[in-house]
Chains A and B, each alone.
Chain A
Amino acid sequence: MSKNLIEVEGLSKHFDLGKGRILKAVSDLNFQIREGETLGMVGESGCGKSTAGRTILRLYEPTAGAVRFNGTDITKLSGGKMKAFRRDMQMIFQDPYASLNPRFTVTDIIGEALDIHNMAGSRAERKKRVEELLDMVGLNPDHATRYPHEFSGGQRQRIGIARALAVNPKFIIADEPISALDVSIQAQVVNLLQDLQGRLGLTYLFIAHDLSMVKHISDRVAVMYLGKMVELADSEELYANPRHPYTQALLSAIPVPDPEVEANKERIVLKGELPSPINPPSGCPFRTRCPIATEKCALEVPALVEVQKGHFAACHYA
């Protein structure tokens, strides 16, 4: 088995809203990402998956905990040292419209990353590198002088990928990279991400709410609920044998594009909605909607424990 590239230990991010109110976006995350693997992270809006991604990259300063990249805890690094690590860790954003500067040409969008890290060299070298990156993500290098509005959504997402790749990163966090795209375009971008991973040996944290796509792309999948990780397993195992009642409900809620499957499916419809992360329930965060919750669940916080080899769940009854 390959070594861990990322080790997350006790990572929390709490936002102070003033007047003594604390929003616990992410609490006590513990997991590792192995070199060359894709870890999928799923959950509904407000579960903390994006905050987790941003805190790992220190786009948000963590409230507690450590993030080790190749053994070095990056949460304690000074600005200058952190900058060196930023080359190794890049991000692809959800909205290909909002994450590209509309006043920059493609050359400048991608070139900016090269400039910041002094990787550009001469003007000609910079231009050559940008063209090489565009070719790598399947765009026409002749379009380097165009502006973002001249591209379609799928093409813009390719520009975002080229920008992330410009500094030769080892680790990429993709935060909902395909949810703004049409179905027929999503597959193009996902295939590109997989090709690049094979060619460049990248490690991914793939954050999404589309569980079928996460299953397709990930080696292992982590399920988040209300700021906590409730289950983590190999993707085949997680989908075949979900142990946490939330994961079970989440999987059964996805409509499958096959009328035969849909006609015979027993769907677990959860009652109620996500509680507020400002005032989360005591004990297990899921107990207010859980079909099998007992008194114990209100009193004790279930820890994320290994229920089977490589399969972790945070439930007293998993």
Chain B
Amino acid sequence: MQPILQVKDLQVSFQVRGGEVKAVRGVNFEVGKGEAVAIVGESGSGKSVTAQTIMRLIPSPPSIIKSGEIIFQGNDLTRKTDKEMEAIRGKDIGMIFQDPMTSLNPTIKVGKQITEGLIKHQNLSAKEAKEQGIEMLKLVGIPNAESRFNQYPHEFSGGMRQRVMIAIALACRPSLLIADEPTTALDVTIQAQILNVMKDMQKKFGTSIILITHDLGVVADMCDRVVVMYAGKVVETGTKWEIFQNPQHPYTRGLLRSMPRLDQKKNEKLIPIIGTPPDLIKPPAGCGFCARCDEAMRICEQVDPEVTQLSDTHMSRCWLLHPMAQEVKSS
């Protein structure tokens, strides 16, 4: 499968008063055509910074792309000028944010916010754009689309606003949609509605999706592959089956263990991951997770783990998977 997006050794830092925050420290992953890839990790793991760097949404300074390439449809986005990025954003890559109230302009009618992109990127007339805009609102399941088209964001509920965001993001039929915690601010019954809309749209337009989330339930429902990030690095990637049924990194295992499940027996204690993530102004020399890992060895503190390829689709960065560690374990 030809990937439409390849992120290669991406490193992003922020210059702050206390020093340099190394938020993304060498991230590699790719997204195939029509594929839904989840990026999971906790606050500060670098998942949102990665996504916003792909879209060039973080101003520089304070952010600096230290190294790496973002190859989208054959072109390196890190080399594009701001002007060139403007032509890509909204047209070839769409984005949905967590909070639909703060990401819509409260003083502009939603209709205008949808047609803005259509007029700019597809050179449609105002009338054609309006027709397509209303069509989009219908597609994402907004009742009375014609009259809703002329309303302001505050007249919509949270779930409806997120539908509007999806309509805006997909209006120009982008080949890639980046959704950053799209359902975190919504209630579960509304979340189920929004996930259904996203799945329908993916089927209809063949859009590739990067879904950023901390909810592993949403991942299991929505995605084909999973990228697990911790302390600015990718620690494990695999198909969702590999990640959920055969997790190989202690962090992934810890994450799955620390969540209660509806089908679990009561009185089983949760097994938390002790401690907190490291400070990325002074990232550890070795594995970012080793201070919280109960299987850590001496090498984990000193040297960053190498990538172990477990199958064509499954890789993990952990010294425990190194042939030598396996030998020590078995002896």
Contact = CB atoms under 8 A, between A and B. Distances in A.
A215 B263 CA distance: 10
A212 to B, nearest CB: 5
B145 to A, nearest CB: 16
- Which residue among B42, B244, B255, B270 has the maximum number of chain A CB atoms within 10 Å of its CB? B270
A317 to B, nearest CB: 20
Interface residues of A, number: 41
Contacts of B272: 184-188, 191
Contacts of B214: 182-183
A194 B160 CA distance: 38
Contacts of A254: 188, 217, 262
Given A254-B262, A259-B240, A184 B254 contact: yes
Contacts of B52: none
B155 interface: no
Contacts of B240: 259
A45 B187 contact: yes
B244 A257 contact: yes
A296 interface: no
Contact of A250 (B189, B195, B263): B189
B260 A215 contact: yes
B220 to A, nearest CB: 5
- Which residue among A155, A187, A194, A212 has the maximum number of chain B CB atoms within 10 Å of its CB? A187
Interface in A186-233: 186-188, 190-191, 194, 209, 211-213, 215-216
Interface in B259-282: 259-264, 266, 269-274, 276
Nearest to B42: A182
B189 A183 contact: no
A269 interface: yes
Given A187-B258, A273-B159, A257 B189 contact: no
A212 B43 contact: no
A187 B215 contact: no
B191 interface: yes
Given A191-B270, A215-B260, A270-B189, A256 B42 contact: no
Contact of A255 (B190, B220, B271, B274): B220
A44 interface: yes
A155 B274 CA distance: 12
Contacts of B219: 257
Interface string A105-148: 00000000000000000000000000000000000000000000
Contacts of B259: 183, 187, 212, 257
A215 B262 contact: yes
B321 to A, nearest CB: 21
B258 A184 contact: yes
Contacts of A261: 220, 263
Contacts of A259: 220, 240-241, 244-245
Contacts of B217: 254-257, 262
A183 B216 CA distance: 10
B67 to A, nearest CB: 28
Contact of A258 (B196, B220, B254): B220
A209 B263 contact: no
B192 interface: yes
A190 B270 CA distance: 8
Nearest to B41: A182
A154 B258 contact: no
A300 B215 CA distance: 39
Nearest to A46: B187
A249 interface: yes
A241 to B, nearest CB: 13
B255 to A, nearest CB: 6
A239 B220 contact: no
B218 to A, nearest CB: 5
A152 interface: yes
B294 to A, nearest CB: 13
A226 to B, nearest CB: 13
A269 B159 CA distance: 13
A259 B269 CA distance: 23
Nearest to A154: B276
B263 to A, nearest CB: 7
A44 B42 contact: no
Contact of B43 (A182, A213, A215, A253): A182
A258 B243 CA distance: 10
Interface string B246-263: 000000001110111111
A76 interface: no
A249 B189 contact: yes
A213 B188 CA distance: 14
B157 A262 contact: no
A213 B260 contact: yes
Nearest to A182: B42
A239 B263 CA distance: 9
B310 to A, nearest CB: 18
A239 B192 contact: no
A251 interface: yes
A44 B188 contact: yes
A209 B188 contact: yes
Given A255-B218, A259-B220, 7 more contacts: A44-B188, A44-B190, A216-B264, A255-B221, A261-B263, A262-B220, A269-B196
27 contacts: A45-B187, A154-B276, A182-B42, A182-B214, A183-B42, A183-B255, A183-B258, A184-B254, A184-B272, A185-B272, A188-B273, A211-B188, A212-B260, A235-B266, A236-B266, A255-B191, A255-B217, A255-B221, A256-B220, A257-B244, A257-B259, A259-B240, A259-B244, A262-B220, A262-B221, A269-B192, A269-B193
Interface of A: 44-45, 152, 154-155, 182-188, 190-191, 194, 209, 211-213, 215-216, 235-236, 239, 249-251, 253-262, 267, 269-270, 273
Top 9 A-B pairs ranked by shortest CB distance?
A255-B217, A187-B272, A216-B260, A257-B216, A44-B187, A187-B258, A187-B270, A182-B42, A184-B273
